[in-house]
Amino acid sequence: MAAFLMAVYFRGMDVDETAALTKALVNSGEKVDLTAVPGVKIDKHSTGGVGDKTTLVLVPLVASAGVTVAKMSGRALGHTGGTADKLESIPGFKTEMPLNEFVEIVSKVGAALIGQSKELVPGDKKLYALRDVTATVDSIPLIASSVMSKKIAAGCDAVVLDVKVGSGAFMKDIEEARKLASLMVNLGSFFGMPTTAVLSKMDQPLGFAVGNALEVKEAISTLKGEGPEDLVELCIELGAHMLRLSGDKRDLLDIKIDLEKNFLKTGRALDKFREIVSAQGGDPTVLEDLDKLPKAEHISCVYSEKDGYVAEIDAEKIGTAAMILGAGRIKKEQPIDHSAGLIIKKKLGDKVQGGEVLVEMHSNKKETFLRAGELINTAFKIKEFKPHMPSTIIETVTQQ
């Protein structure tokens, strides 16, 4: 098997070969049966980033607009966060449940958010463990088959992929990201699952919060219509594509305007999130009283050493700093501190003066501040002139 992985890493695989591997992975375990749930069921997947709380906003937003969303999410690993860990910051929230209970909640509420089921694609877990020790993790066909096998086994009718590009993403290079997006879209088509991929920037953390409870707070603020611009832009973009895949024939721009104006700003998406939290055993009063979320005992700040503009933020270093503070894990079995993390006080293009706060660190372990702070310092580049600020959205890849 190791020899096979090495061969794929060096020689690659075409779409048919990648589809054959994907099919084998899907067939290695159970498949979620959502046929009893009426309507088109849509899934969403992110290739992973820093401060990526998109799912927490997007799922209730799209569900409030009448689209059924059945979402299985991963956990934090390395510098990237995991949605299941973020949700578990909410007191009582269950991310693990039998598949029949998951289907029941999807049917009743119109959406559910759980962790990856152990019954689904067990072959992928074994393959990934081997990829890890044979240095074949970053092979595009192997990434594509891993992602799409999980999406196909999860039983939805269509999927929107958020393919991150930049310093905080798995794919640092736009050409490589395009190749991955295109292959995953083609695999979706091969299996009769319409797939759209959106390439989005991950050259800085998304929003301001990085870390589980801190990101839940920011997601709730966003659902109250008070979210960071980049997070709102991405959620509306992905949401519009999810509605299109569900059969909405309107122009994409019209869907985007409708989603923001009539669902995000009116509180309908927030109401749907409250429903999801209640259905999954969580405390819905958290949405009104954010102090019920875990809070770290200690806070420390990282200050700018000079005047200028924020020209660069290495998102991977920021993600690693959050992990050092306790918000992430290096190995899958490690526990995490839901209260730990950081708040970015200055984003790309912001004017900054020497002595101003760049980042606020939150941790229950004071001894982590020095190491995390040093890393954050090297992540920020302050320059004399304001940099060009491109959109968070790069492009969309659809079936040709």
Is 131 one of the catalytic residues?
yes
* Residue 125, helix vs strand vs coil: helix
Side-chain-side CA neighbours of residue 397 (13 Å): 25
**Sign of dihedral through CA atoms 272, 277, 280, 285?**
negative
- Out of 41, 44, 79, 150, the active site residue is 150
Is 16 one of the catalytic residues?
no
- Out of 43, 124, 203, 230, the active site residue is 124
Is 388 one of the catalytic residues?
no
- Out of 73, 139, 146, 182, the active site residue is 146
- Out of 41, 75, 86, 131, the active site residue is 131
Place of tokens 């929107």: 160
Residue 219 zone, left/alpha/beta (φ > 0; ψ -120 to 50; rest): alpha
* Residue 4, helix vs strand vs coil: helix
Residue 290, CA distances (Å) to 81, 122, 214 in order: 20, 37, 10
* Strand intervals (E) in 62-211: 68-73, 111-115, 158-165, 195-201, 209-210
The token duo for 244 is 């299109």
**What is the rounded CA–CA span in Å between residue 60 and residue 273?**
5
- Out of 41, 43, 44, 45, the active site residue is 45
Is 249 one of the catalytic residues?
no
Taking alpha carbons only, the member of 336, 340, 338, 346 closest to residue 368 is: 340
Radius of gyration of the chain (CA): 20
**What is the rounded CA–CA span in Å between residue 218 and residue 394?**
24
Contact 321, 342 (CB under 8 A): yes
Write the DSSP symbol of residue 117.
P
* Residue 162, helix vs strand vs coil: strand
Is 125 one of the catalytic residues?
no
Residues 6 or more apart from 333 whose CB is under 8 A from it?
Answer: none
Task: Please give the positions annotated as active site.
Answer: 45, 124, 131, 146, 150
